[in-house]
Amino acid sequence: MVAATGGNVIEFLAEVGAWFADPATWSGRDGIPVRLWEHLWISGVSLAGSVAIGLPLGLAIGHTGRGAGAVVAIANIGRAVPSLGLMGLAFLLLLPLGLGVGPLPTIVALIALGIPPIVVNAYAGLREVDRDLVEAARGMGMREREVLGRVEVPIAMPVILAGVRTTAVQIVATATLAAAIGGGTLGQLIYIGFNVGDQVRIFGAALIVAALSIGTELGFAWIQRAATAPGLRGRAYVPMEPAQVGRGGGAATPP
Amino acid sequence: MRTNRTFVLGAALLALVVSACTPGEGDSPAASAGGESQAADLPSLTIGSAGFWESAVVAEIYAQALEDAGFTVERDFELGARDVTHPALVAGEIDLMPEYIGGYLAVTYSGEPTPDIDESLTALRTELEADGLVAFEPTPGTDADGFAVRQETADELGLATMSDLAEAAGDLTWGVAQECAENPNCGPGLERVYGIDFASLDVETLAACSTAIAEALNADNIDVAQVCTTQPEIAGFNLVLLEDDQGLAPAQNLVPVVRQEVVDEAGDVLEATLNDVSALLTTEELTNLGAAVILNGESYEDAASQWLEDNGL
């Protein structure tokens, strides 16, 4: 069993470096390239799914203002549901359909986990838009869809994108658990490392996941800034708890 | 009002602190079941187990047998994998661990166990000595990695042994542990012993020996599953365990591993009691114990005491 030497951090990090430098680490079914790609595409598909479901839902509730209670419920459930438990549940539910092993249960679970921050932020962002602007837009003869698309969403864009960013980071980090239910991803390297007692590999793979998560955070932060209308760029939003959502504003903070 | 609230908060805090400070009890009721007459002479010992049912049940059987012999036993079960239990044993946090000859030798001591039990046990004992540990007599029963298929698959393809499976290997979806490609008992072993080209197989990974992998097999998501030979789901799902006809699996008999200090203190009673128990743990008995705790949901205590009763111990 390969164990990390006593307290010698430098030696351990040198071993991790050696692991990264070893060509074997980059080859085969359980090499970094295969599992990294798997991690990325599963995360991407799941994010797309969360946005496809969560964004229309959040915009609809936010625009009409009805259903604040539902948003709070969604937010709280989203925080309470354990990720691995949900993946296990998805695995069991998809087994009878012959789809239990493979990426599908992971994707289903990640989409479900990713929906709450998007819904909460879309709702909160829209609720924060100055009511006078909305009324003015209606007064100008804009239809509801135009009010939403041309006034509310552009103003709420930073908050909406913050929600997408939160979900993206959460998905990238949580996708790692897929290895527990046969879904692969970088988590596979961690599980193998754990099973054979190779702490160097566990650390190395975890390092990549951490780098991915940080990269996702920074990448989406850039997108968020780029997509915010210039007139709104200076404006800071104050993150609030979901409990305050019903009272007219609140945004999910990135973890 | 304020006084009431303060009082309630104070009481709750006190209760929390008191409960946190209370030392944890063992998993089972206080060990006073056995005879008291020799208790003064015999040391108390702590028995540990790994995090799965078989280790816990066998540990519980040893525990109850030793209590009946007059020892005071503390239980520290389901500690985790070998990277937790082995250091605990060496350090004296636990005194006795039921272990598997092949697995222990290969994983903890990087040894190379063979299907030959004497060879493997001798090699293991040499390693254990350096750590101040002793292994007593092994059980006749074994629990090794094996491969199972559904009854329909076995009927359709005429599969009874691993050699049979080797011929059909490429047409099937294999469910194996994540580390199979590196485990000498799995991927490389399948190649070496049965000539299966592991790298070209259609493989899905799940935890070996788990209920999940057995369910995936049963639900037709995979066609071959890496299981443990005493796994209850084999009988539960009517699966076919393929015979290891070419001897891939190393000797996986159980042995009680005890700290030398405890052995010295305890004398012959310890060894005799453990060996009497071990002698009766056949593979069939292990499998039945698995059925009891996993399929029938019995507690480890009940299953163990029932087994000891049935076997006149």
Average pLDDT, chain A: 88
Residues A102-124 pLDDT 10s: 999 999 999 999 999 999 999 99
Mean of the pLDDT values across residues A49-68? 93
Report whether A182 contacts B206 (CB < 8 A): yes
Sheet containing B72-80: order of strands: B72-80, B44-50, B96-100, B254-259, B133-135
Beta strands in chain B (DSSP E): 44-50, 72-80, 96-100, 133-135, 145-150, 173-176, 202-205, 224-228, 239-241, 254-259
CATH of domain B145-241: 3.40.190.120
Q: Could you check whether B25-142+253-310 and B145-241 share the same CATH topology?
A: yes
More confident residue, B16 or A12: A12
Residue B306 has pLDDT above 50, yes or no: yes
Mean of the pLDDT values across residues A34-62? 96
Residue A31 has pLDDT above 60, yes or no: yes
Residue B37 has pLDDT above 90, yes or no: no
**Which region among A158-167, B27-36, B101-110, B170-179 has the lowest average model confidence (pLDDT)?**
B27-36
Which CA distances in Å does B130 have to B113, B134, B173, B253?
18, 10, 43, 21
Residues A123-179 pLDDT 10s: 999 999 999 999 999 999 999 898 999 999 999 999 999 999 999 999 999 999 999
Question: What is the predicted pLDDT for the residue at B14?
Answer: 82
Report whether A111 contacts A49 (CB < 8 A): yes
Report whether B90 contacts B133 (CB < 8 A): yes
Question: What is the predicted pLDDT for the residue at B3?
Answer: 65
Question: What is the predicted pLDDT for the residue at A193?
Answer: 93
More confident residue, B219 or A252: B219
Beta bridge partners of B148: B225, B241
Average pLDDT, chain B: 90
Report whether B162 contacts B245 (CB < 8 A): yes
Confidence band for A227, pLDDT divided at 50, 70 and 90:
confident
Interface of B with A (CB under 8 A): 82-83, 107-108, 110, 175, 177-179, 181-183, 199, 203-207, 212, 215-216, 219-222
- Alpha carbon B112 to its chain's center: 20
Question: What is the predicted pLDDT for the residue at B32?
Answer: 42
Residues B205-229 pLDDT 10s: 999 999 999 999 999 999 999 999 9
Beta strands in chain A (DSSP E): none
**Which region among A64-73, B118-127, B242-251 has the lowest average model confidence (pLDDT)?**
A64-73
| CA–CA gap between residue B99 and residue B122 (Å, rounded) | 15
Mean of the pLDDT values across residues A236-253? 51
Beta bridge partners of B72: B44
Residue burial A150-184, b: 16+ Cβ < 10 Å; e: rest: ebbbbbbbbbbbbbbbbbbbbbbbbbbbbbbbbbb
Q: Which residues of A touch B108 (CB under 8 A)?
A: 1
Question: Smallest CA–CA separation between B216 and chain A, in Å?
Answer: 6
Which CA distances in Å does A78 have to A75, A88, A111, A169, B87?
5, 16, 11, 15, 39
Q: How many residues appear in chain A?
A: 255
Beta bridge partners of B50: B80
Question: What is the predicted pLDDT for the residue at B6?
Answer: 80
Question: Smallest CA–CA separation between B8 and chain A, in Å?
Answer: 26
- Where exactly are the structural domains of chain B? 25-142+253-310, 145-241
Q: Do B221 and A197 touch (CB under 8 A)?
A: no
Question: Smallest CA–CA separation between B36 and chain A, in Å?
Answer: 42
Report whether B143 contacts B129 (CB < 8 A): no
CATH of domain B25-142+253-310: 3.40.190.10
Q: Residue type at B258?
A: V
Nearest chain A residue to B215 by CA distance is A95
Residue B267 has pLDDT above 90, yes or no: no
Q: Do B179 and A179 touch (CB under 8 A)?
A: no
Sheet containing B224-228: order of strands: B202-205, B173-176, B224-228, B145-150, B239-241
Residue B34 has pLDDT above 50, yes or no: no
Q: Do A100 and B221 touch (CB under 8 A)?
A: yes
Residues B130-170 pLDDT 10s: 999 999 999 999 999 999 999 999 999 999 999 999 999 99
Residue A10 has pLDDT above 90, yes or no: yes
**Which region among A231-240, B4-13, B48-57, B196-205 has the lowest average model confidence (pLDDT)?**
A231-240
Query: Domains (ranges, CATH) in chain A?
Result: 9-247 (1.10.3720.10)
Mean of the pLDDT values across residues B44-56? 94
